[in-house]
Amino acid sequence: MDGDVSIAVKTSAPMAGEPMQDYRQVLKHGIMPRTSHDDAERFNFLYHLNRHVRGPVMAACRNAYENRVEPAFEKEKGRKPKNRHEARKAMLTEPMFQFYSSLRRASMEQRQQAGRWVALSQAEELRERAAAYADDDALQLNPALTTPRYVTEVDHHCMPGSYYTEYMEDDVVNGANYDVGFFSSFGGAPTMSGPGEGMVAWLKAYRPDFKPKRILDIGSTVGHNLAPMAMAFPDAEVVAVDVGAPVLRYHLARARSMGINNIRCVQADGADLSMFEDESFDIIQSCLLLHEISYPAMRAIFKETYRLAAPGALVYHADVGGYSDEQSLFEKAMRDWDAFYNNEPFMSTLKDIDVFDFFADAGFKEDEFFHASPLGYGPGKAQMGEGRLPPKLAALPGLNLFGSRK
């Protein structure tokens, strides 16, 4: 593709100023846990709380930083903070930042407990409903798989047991929890597939005649962002990989109940996909994976994607971007919040690297790189083009797409 172009990307997450959403609008499917009136209103409350915290309370934090925190730092040190880390640490004793942080952390913990209440109360029923959709060909689990330490050491998003913990045989509880409360965590998205929808829209514009036969999605969880791709290419074989058996069982049942029958779920570590043949996939993607894995795992995954990509294949990852000089230290420090207080320890370090260096180290060629931003949970149009992602795009709200052809 010559030059940079823009495409309209319809996202499923409401932006500031858009009408408020209601939990009852959330996409229902055959494995979705049942919710009572009180359950729905609990999720609605948390959704509204999150919007309030990230809107007016965030604005109050900015005011406190500019009028109290930074002047106090400059008075003590004789200079302004030199980076986002100093800015964040300077805010730790600021009451408004403490208020913001306590609200955000509490809302996430409450969201997890609200979801777990619903999922655990229906655990046996959900297990039976999921089993009705399962078959040996479409669900390939590996009980002997060693879950990577970067997963076991962290309850991601404050979700007890993260993606992999099982409470009974053939369990789906953590998958159900992830799905049923997603609305509250991510701004009231009815389909909960904003990035996936964005990737499909980008792909249709970037390669309108591309007809992949095999698609691989790494770190697929319950399939929010893979379902749009599977529906866009119904004749393709679509493989979902994740380390968590509960989320994969739920993923397959969710897809089948939505009439999506071309997805196969495989329990595996993305750093070792030796069960798949060399050059056997036309698209390899991940969505919101990179910020949850370690550098060694990222290097291994990129090498595996190079091995698995067929000639001419597209390999891309959608995730958070870095920073630009146009952003204030306050903005940068606040965008680091999840890394320190929401059990996302790799989110900050991901913003310090150029993801395209990992492509290059794995064997991909510089002149085959491409990018797009923002995709899903971002405003306006997605800008896309050849080469590495420019810093000014990487810093936009929403997700960035880092990619390469082979």
Q: What CATH number is attached to the domain comprising 195?
A: 3.40.50.150
- Please say if the pLDDT value at position 355 is more than 80: yes
What does the pLDDT read at residue 191? 66
Separation of alpha carbons 41 and 26, rounded Å = 13
Mean pLDDT to the nearest integer, 320-325? 85
Separation of alpha carbons 172 and 21, rounded Å = 27
Domain span at residue 93?
23-138+154-185
Task: Read off φ and ψ for residue 400, nearest 5 degrees.
Answer: -110, 150
Mean pLDDT to the nearest integer, 229-244? 97
Between 79 and 10, where is the model more confident?
79
- Please say if the pLDDT value at position 186 is more than 80: no
Specify if 269 maps to a domain.
Answer: yes
Q: Which residues pair with 264 in a beta bridge?
A: 239
Q: Tell me if 383 sits within 8 A of 9, measured CB to CB.
A: no
- Please say if the pLDDT value at position 379 is more than 50: no
- Please say if the pLDDT value at position 261 is more than 60: yes
Specify if 144 maps to a domain.
Answer: no
Nearest to 297 by CA among 323, 321, 317, 275: 317
Mean pLDDT to the nearest integer, 151-158? 92
What does the pLDDT read at residue 19? 65
Nearest to 279 by CA among 306, 241, 303: 306
For the chain, the average pLDDT equals 91
pLDDT band for position 8 (cuts 50, 70, 90): very low
Separation of alpha carbons 328 and 51, rounded Å = 22
Specify if 14 maps to a domain.
Answer: no
> Mutual orientation of helices 95-121 and 123-131 as an angle, nearest 10°?
60
SS (H, E, C) the chain: CCCCEEEECCCCCCCCCCCCCCHHHCCCCCCCCCCCHHHHHHHHHHHHHHHHHHHHHHHHHHHHHHHHHHHHHHHHHCCCCCCHHHHHHHHCCCHHHHHHHHHHHHHHHHHHHHHHHHHHHCHHHHHHHHHCCCCCCCEECCCCCCCCHHHHCCCHHHCCCCCCCCCCCCCCHHHHHHHHCHHHHCCCCCCCCHHHHHHHHHHHHHCCCCCCCEEEEECCCCCCCCHHHHHHCCCCEEEEEECCHHHHHHHHHHHHHCCCCCEEEEECCCCCCCCCCCCCEEEEEEECCHHHCCHHHHHHHHHHHHHHEEEEEEEEEEECCCCCCCCCHHHHHHHCHHHHHCCCCCHHHHCCCCHHHHHHHHCCCHHHEEEEEEECCCCCEEEEEECCCCHHHHCCCCEEEEEEEC
What does the pLDDT read at residue 3? 47
- Please say if the pLDDT value at position 124 is more than 60: yes
* Same-domain status, 180 and 222: no
pLDDT above 70: percentage of residues in the chain: 92
Q: Tell me if 241 sits within 8 A of 219, measured CB to CB.
A: yes
- Please say if the pLDDT value at position 316 is more than 90: yes
Specify if 177 maps to a domain.
Answer: yes
Between 25 and 98, where is the model more confident?
98
The domain total for the chain is 2
Q: Which two tokens stand for residue 144?
A: 């002997």
Mean pLDDT to the nearest integer, 174-199? 83
* Same-domain status, 379 and 321: yes
Q: Which residues pair with 360 in a beta bridge?
A: none
* Same-domain status, 207 and 76: no
pTM for this predicted structure: 0.93
Q: How far is CA 71 from the centre of its chain?
A: 36
Specify if 175 maps to a domain.
Answer: yes
* Same-domain status, 76 and 159: yes
Nearest to 275 by CA among 288, 264, 260, 283: 264
* Same-domain status, 84 and 168: yes
Separation of alpha carbons 195 and 189, rounded Å = 11
* Same-domain status, 290 and 396: yes
- Please say if the pLDDT value at position 177 is more than 80: yes
Q: Which residue has the tokens 């709380």?
A: 49
* Same-domain status, 338 and 397: yes
Nearest to 406 by CA among 381, 369, 375, 371: 369
Q: Tell me if 365 sits within 8 A of 386, measured CB to CB.
A: no
- Please say if the pLDDT value at position 196 is more than 70: yes
- Please say if the pLDDT value at position 291 is more than 60: yes
Separation of alpha carbons 79 and 87, rounded Å = 12
The one-letter amino acid at 130: A
* Same-domain status, 132 and 195: no
Q: Which two tokens stand for residue 381?
A: 């149009």
Specify if 95 maps to a domain.
Answer: yes
pLDDT band for position 393 (cuts 50, 70, 90): confident
Mean pLDDT to the nearest integer, 377-384? 63
Q: Which two tokens stand for residue 314?
A: 């597209």
Mean pLDDT to the nearest integer, 68-76? 98
* Same-domain status, 177 and 200: no
